Amino acid sequence: MKRLDTPVIIIFGITGDLSKRKLLPALHELFRYGILKQGTKIIGISRHQLSQDDVLQIINSSLANKVQDDHAVDLSSAVTALQLNPDNLSDFQRLKSLLESCDSLGACQRLYYMSIPPAAYAPIIKNLSQAGLNTENDRLLLEKPFGYNLESAKSSIDLVSKAFRETQVYRIDHYLAKETAQNLLAFRLHNPIFVPLWNNQHIERVHIRQFESIGIEGRANFYEQTGALRDMIQSHLMQLLALTMMTVPDSMTSSAIHRAKIDFLSSLAVADPKLSIRGQYDGYRQEVNQPNSNVETYVKLQLSSQSKDWQGVQFILEHGKAMHQSIADVNISFKTSHEKRRNSLTFQVQPDETIRLDLLIKEPGLTNNMRHADLKLSYSDVFPNSNKVDAYARVIMDAINGDQSLFASNQEVINNWQILEPLLEAWSDNSHGLIIYPYGSATVQ
């Protein structure tokens, strides 16, 4: 698929929360860095009629204090609105005419960003195809969740595959677009001292966690249908695990990275409900107005690999809402004959992007007392004047460039669901083993 310089970005759901909070600020950032240039067209799709003033108001509210700069003007000039009924093929024909008018040769690269719930994808994807809006210049960007379970994920993949080739489909996992997540591979590739340590002879466990200090924040309908396992574990944390543990390919191409991730995921045994914990923070049932809700807001599970390189290593994934802090990190614990002498390597994804190596050092003075201390690399300290790019800006830029490295492939989605399906089945429609934990907990057990 050839790379084209001037994209047309079509946002389905321009008035939605994701568009306002993430996409429009990311597009503003891409104008600021010169990735998007004058001539870029952004078409905001809505079921309802929007005037240009309505569009400008949406942009201004999403950019907050950035509304007066030149790049906000560039963004405002680029965006036009189009009312479209997802079930009406004739509306897609109007969209096609509008897109063709953007480039007299019909060669504009087109990105269709589905900033809508996945349940609403079907008629849009079908009509894009029937209207001929699925050419080699068209790319489809999809937000998680990628299915509700294994069966629905396969159905979703089948739906998309009938209209678009996999090389045209970009399943977004914005966690992989964060700088520290990207640095996982770069760190392993360019620091050879760690290469011989990346196996079960030296690593005992890998713990990936993502905690949020807030609750569901009014997203009752979404969360009651989703839960913590589907919301964070199945996508973000499984992808981080694969990126951390996969064999670094000789070629860092998108296809090679995906093959390496699939090889690792294929080696994992299915999750054992007996090695998992699920919890729900106290007060959740009142928030969602469901006194008997079994939906989990916390999950901790342990996985294992059948690969000879990783047999015996514990892979722990943990996510919770209403915890004592907001943090996301990957902690790699190295083997030791004495727990107090354990070294660990931590990649912190948020809130501050850092890499820490835990070492034992001698305390100053006349004693030989030893203590743990971090050898710490903070991105903000090492690169104080760097242009930090938002994850969504990176997602859009990579899609423009045709780089699928930081997106989830069909097979990765299927592998993830196959691994986690036993937990869904064990937890379906029952509260057995559900732990009610206090708001602000440090752990759940």
Residue 138's identity, in one-letter code, is: D
Element (H, E) at 418: helix 410-427
Residue 345 near residue 332, CB atoms below 8 Å: yes
Closest CA to 388 of 101, 89, 180: 180
Half-sphere exposure of 381 (CA within 13 A, CB side): 7
Give the residue carrying structure tokens 């070492």. 359
Calculate helix-pair angle for 89-102, 121-130, nearest 10 degrees. Answer: 60
User: Environment class of residue 101 by beta-carbon count within 10 Å: exposed (0-12), middle (13-18) or buried (19+)?
Assistant: exposed
- How far CA 81 is from CA of 76, 89, 197, 270, 397, in Å, comes to 11, 18, 54, 46, 22
Rg of the chain (C-alpha set): 23
Element (H, E) at 375: strand 370-378
- How far CA 17 is from CA of 13, 22, 23, 212, 364, in Å, comes to 9, 8, 9, 19, 53
324 is catalytic: no
| Cβ partners under 8 Å of residue 52, min gap 6 | 80, 81
**Long-range contacts, 272-277 (Cβ 8 Å, 24+):** 272/302, 272/422, 273/422, 273/423, 273/426, 273/427, 275/301, 275/302, 276/300, 276/301, 276/302, 276/423, 277/301, 277/433, 277/435, 277/444, 277/445
- Determine the longest span between alpha carbons in the chain, in angstroms: 83
Q: Which of 236, 319, 324, 432 is catalytic?
A: 236
Closest CA to 113 of 200, 9, 8: 9
Cα–Cα distance, 323 to 213 (Å, whole number): 5
Length of the chain: 445
Helix (H) and strand (E) counts in the chain: 15, 16
Which residues are known to be catalytic?
A: 236
